Structure 1
Amino acid sequence: MQAEGRGPRRVTEATVHSREIVQAARLLEAGELVGLPTETVYGLAADAANPQAVAKIYAAKGRPANHPVIVHLHRDADPLRWAAELPDAARNLIAAFWPGPLTLVLPRRAGVAEACAGGQDTIALRCPDHPVAQAVLALFQGGQGGLAAPSANRFGRISPTTAAHVRAELGAAVALVLDGGPCAVGIESTIVDCTRLQAMDGLPRILRPGGVEAQAIAAVLGCTEQSLLALPDPHLDARLQPQRAGMAPGMAMHATDAAPEAPRVPGALASHYAPATPLRLLQADALDTAWPSAQRIGVLAPRSAPGANPQSRWLAMPADAQAYAQALYAALRELDAAGLKAIWAQTLPADAGWDAVRDRLQRAAADKR
């Protein structure tokens, strides 16, 4: 990091001065909230070891007290300050994917970060891959502190991927928002549970798809993708269960019999990442049939509109899964602010590369079917 006063540090499309990095670290050490850019989404950061500071996160977001938050660490920080143990599987995943969009759920050290745990004996840890986040973490408590940093938006709503999103949604509740430019990944991290290895055939389980694909995790662990899939929730609508390549919607995935209950993790509610405007998922043919007569409808589809309709808005999204993910939340916010009657999103391919994006759209539409 440049010395204070020596000019700006260039980060993606935004300029962050070193004095702002210093200011952010000091505000966080004083128990204040800071909007922090990461490669996934912008986080609402607070000192993870300060219960009063973490309580400000919950109040600002309107987040339920039993919903845990992820603790973000510097690349050189010791996870064992927070976790009671690091199984070999966790160490291998850290070596392969940190810094990066991967969160590990681990046994929590007794008495540590209780305010972040949502009443559980687990802790969720991540090392963000963004130069601004890493610069703040390097200064914060000498590089060994942890920052609780859930997405910087009201609970259950669309996650922010620019500094402007954070300011518009949370305003004066945040002492400072660092503008690190648009997020490169654009959706939240993959969450992997490493707390039940003995009960779950020695392998961790993916609890939320995200920026690291199951295929990459399986390659590191020397297992199949299928063996990493979490048990479906029997109380969850079958349409919201993750769908894999070659599997019909609602088809149950293999998992060990009598597996223990998974820990609660962020983004696992049936309805989440949702705009205020009702969102529906439509197959391409149904979308094309309804489009010519659509009134005040916004559309997300990985292709161009089949024809003109001045009464509605069609956003042509990227046909590539990673590029679609990066653009998704900004597109949802644009349509949500347009005064539309509804948003229609074209259903996405069932192959594994689209898992994370498909998960976000399914949850965004959960209460609007």
Structure 2
Amino acid sequence: MKLHKVTSQSIKEAALIIQNGGLVAFPTETVYGLGADALNPLAVARVFEVKERPNFDPLIVHISSLADIERLCLKIDKMARTLMKHFWPGPLTLVLPKSSLVPDIVTAGLPTVAVRMPSHPVASELIKAAGTPVAAPSANLFSRLSPTTAKHVKEQLGDKIDLILDGGRSPIGVESTVILLASGKAHLLRPGGLSLEDIENVIGAVKIQIPKSLSPLSPGQLPRHYSPRTPIRFLPPGKIEFEKGKKVGLLAFTPLKAKMPCEVVEILSPEGDIVEAAANLFPCLHRLDKAGLDIIYAESVPKIGLGRAIMDRLYKAVGDSRSE
């Protein structure tokens, strides 16, 4: 699969593919998405097939205009409109009651739909050119590391999809924050590229407890996700003794204060900047996963700002059911 540099022509070509029921990988400000016409059930079914994604895990629908939200959703309350006004376009997904226009395959049969308006210019232009809402989970194999470059997409999906738009590295580096709005209250379903603090500054307290459901209400809620193929664990506190004969990699938040017996060390942020750390999370994990290691140890980061999203991804990569 050839990577296509972003030009007006390549965006037109990508839009035509989506209109004809094909699949296009494209950059967003969070991670690369795998896009299909959200109103075409057969195209959406192919997304699940290519990603090897279970059909009970709903998709996020991406839009380029607020006019689309009126077509896709019912009961758009004042809180939803306030969040849209402050944070769209941007890395915020809202889960709202769906209209009959949205195919059940997109929502895994749920009465709600997850909707986002991306701020990345390529994503916005592509959705406009396609003339349809675009269902777009991350452009990777299900449960594997998220892609923040076109190369990451190619390595995982290869020739399974119709076109990859290469728009450079995704600047935020973690998926969108997902908020469920129900009965006048906001529930955090997935921490992401918009901090909880920023949201609460606008609408007040957000509930962290997720409403009980037999199925995920949004992507990223399953207990194991975002995982490298190499086994990964959290770095234990205190004196560390790694197993002899094992090739060990370390994902560190900041530069090490003491030397450790590691084959490879990846540092999320030399200055301890949590935003930089989020942007570097998946690129660092991709490099560690390709280093021929027996195990990766990950250091915890402070759960402030985007640190909450980083820790959510690490918990799920490890297979730890905690997200808070």
2:38–2:102: 8 Å Cα contact kept in structure 1?
no
Q: Please give the per-residue CA displacement for 1:258-293, whole angstroms capped at 9, x wherever unaligned.
A: x6649621000111101111110124534xx33697
1:271-282 matches, within 5 Å, as 271-282=224-235
1:327-342 matches, within 5 Å, as 327-342=280-295
The alpha carbon displacement at 1:139 in A equals 1.0
5+ residue gaps, structure 2, are none
The alpha carbon displacement at 1:110 in A equals 2.2
The alpha carbon displacement at 1:179 in A equals 0.6
Worse overlay, 358-367 or 90-99: 358-367
The separation in 2 between residues aligned to 1:208 and 1:102, in whole angstroms, is 10
The alpha carbon displacement at 1:188 in A equals 0.4
1:42–1:161: 8 Å Cα contact kept in structure 2?
yes
User: TM-score with structure 2 length normalisation?
Assistant: 0.91
Distance 1:231 1:311, change over 3 A: closer
- Give the equivalent residue in structure 2 for 1:241: none
- Give the equivalent residue in structure 2 for 1:349: 302
The residue identity in structure 2 corresponding to 1:322 is V
Alignment of 1:17 onto 2:42: no
Q: Alignment identity in percent?
A: 40
2:230–2:289: 8 Å Cα contact kept in structure 1?
yes
The separation in 1 between residues aligned to 2:164 and 2:304, in whole angstroms, is 37
- Give the equivalent residue in structure 2 for 1:205: 187
1:82–1:113: 8 Å Cα contact kept in structure 2?
no
The alpha carbon displacement at 1:111 in A equals 4.5
Distance 1:98 1:356, change over 3 A: same
The separation in 2 between residues aligned to 1:112 and 1:80, in whole angstroms, is 12
The separation in 2 between residues aligned to 1:260 and 1:343, in whole angstroms, is 33
The residue identity in structure 2 corresponding to 1:269 is L
The separation in 1 between residues aligned to 2:290 and 2:252, in whole angstroms, is 18
The alpha carbon displacement at 1:219 in A equals 1.5
Distance 1:292 1:313, change over 3 A: farther
1:84–1:110: 8 Å Cα contact kept in structure 2?
no
Partner SS for 1:55:
helix
- Give the equivalent residue in structure 2 for 1:299: 250
Alignment of 1:74 onto 2:56: no
Q: Please give the per-residue CA displacement for 1:144-178, whole angstroms capped at 9, x wherever unaligned.
A: x1000000001011110000000111011111100
5+ residue gaps, structure 1, are 1-13, 233-258
The separation in 2 between residues aligned to 1:285 and 1:260, in whole angstroms, is 37
1:207–1:229: 8 Å Cα contact kept in structure 2?
no
Partner SS for 1:204:
strand
Q: What's the Cα RMSD here?
A: 2.2
- Give the equivalent residue in structure 1 for 2:142: 155
Distance 1:204 1:294, change over 3 A: farther
The separation in 1 between residues aligned to 2:113 and 2:276, in whole angstroms, is 30
Which has the higher relative contact order, 1 or 2, with Cα contacts under 8 A spaced 6 or more apart?
2
- Give the equivalent residue in structure 2 for 1:229: 207
Which protein shows a greater Rg? 1
- Corresponding pairs, count: 316
Partner SS for 1:300:
strand
User: TM-score with structure 1 length normalisation?
Assistant: 0.81
